[in-house]
Amino acid sequence: EVQLVESGGDLVQSGGSLRLSCAASGFTFSSYAMNWVRQAPGKGLEWVSCIIGNGDDTYYADSVKGRFTISRDNSKNTLYLQMTGLRADDTAVYYCANGVDNGWYYFDYWGLGTQVTVSS
Amino acid sequence: IVLTQSPGTLSLSPGDSATLSCRASQSVRNNYLAWYQQKPGQSPRLLIYTASYRAAGIPDRFSGSGSGTDFTLTITRLEPEDFAVYYCQLHGTSLWTFGQGTKVEI
C-alpha cells in the first residue's frame, strides 16, 4: 500500500526558511517522480514542484522558482522541499503526491499534508 | 494553459445527476486531463485520468468525457458522500495546472 507522510510544517516569520519532508513507502521510490502541491486556506490546489525519480531533473511553479528547492534521498525513501524567503502567500497545506499508477501526468496518491503558516 | 471550471457551485439533491465543466484556454495535449474530488479536511482523490478513464476503485457513477479544450465530469445518482469540491487538472507546457474547483452541495 502506497503511503506518503509529510512533516516539517510550522509557523514561521516572513522571510524565514523551512524544510518539509515526505516519507514514502509501499512502492519503489526511486522509480517515480514526486511532487509537492499546496492549498492555501479556503482556496484551490496549486502545483508547486516536481522531481524525477533519479533526482536529475526538477520543475517549479513560477510562484516559487528561485525560493524553493525540491530534492530527494532515494536511500531513505524521502522527499524534501526547502523553502526560503517565505511570504504570507506561501501559507498553505503542503501535500506530497505522485503518479505511481497512471503516470507522471497525474497525482494518484497524496499524503495528508503539513501546515505551513507564514506570519507577517 | 488556464483551466476554467463551471459552475462555481452546484446545488443538487441525492439521486440527482451532476454535470461539471472544465474548459482549457488551449487544446490539452493527448487529453492529459484529470478530475479530483476533495472533501473537507481530506486530501484530494483522483477520480478520472486522461479525460475518461476511471481510477482504481472509483464507482461507475463517475464518468469523464471531452477532448481538446472542453471536458466534462458527470456524476449520476448522487450519493451523500459525493457532495464535495471537484477539481480538473492538466499536464502541459505549464507543467501541472488545476482549475479553481466546483463545489457540489446539497
Q: What is the pLDDT of residue A78?
A: 98
| Cβ atoms of A87 and A79 closer than 8 Å | no
Min CA distance, B64 vs chain A (Å)?
15
Q: C-alpha dihedral over B41, B43, B44, B45, to 10 degrees?
A: -120
Per-residue pLDDT tens listing for chain B (106 residues) = 899 999 999 999 999 999 999 999 999 989 999 999 999 999 999 999 999 999 999 999 999 999 999 999 999 999 999 999 999 999 877 689 999 999 999 8
In this complex, is the C-beta atom of B98 within 8 Å of any C-beta atom belonging to chain A? yes
Let me know how long chain A is. 120
Average pLDDT over every residue of A64-78: 98
Question: Is the peptide bond prior to B7 cis by the omega test (within 30 degrees of 0)?
Answer: yes
Give residues with Cβ within 8 angstroms of A14, minimum separation 6. A86, A87, A88, A118, A119, A120
In this complex, is the C-beta atom of B55 within 8 Å of any C-beta atom belonging to chain A? yes
Q: What is the pLDDT of residue B94?
A: 63
Closest CA to A93 of B43, B14, B15, B94: B43
For residue B44, the chain A residues in CB contact (below 8 A) are: 45, 95, 107, 110
Min CA distance, B67 vs chain A (Å)?
16
Cell of A106: 497525474
The model's pLDDT over A12-58, given as tens digits with 9 standing for 90+, comes to 999 999 999 999 999 999 999 999 999 999 999 999 999 999 999 99
Q: For all residues of chain A together, what is the average pLDDT?
A: 96
Q: Which residue has the cell 484556454?
A: B25
Q: What is the pLDDT of residue A62?
A: 94
Q: What is the pLDDT of residue A102?
A: 83
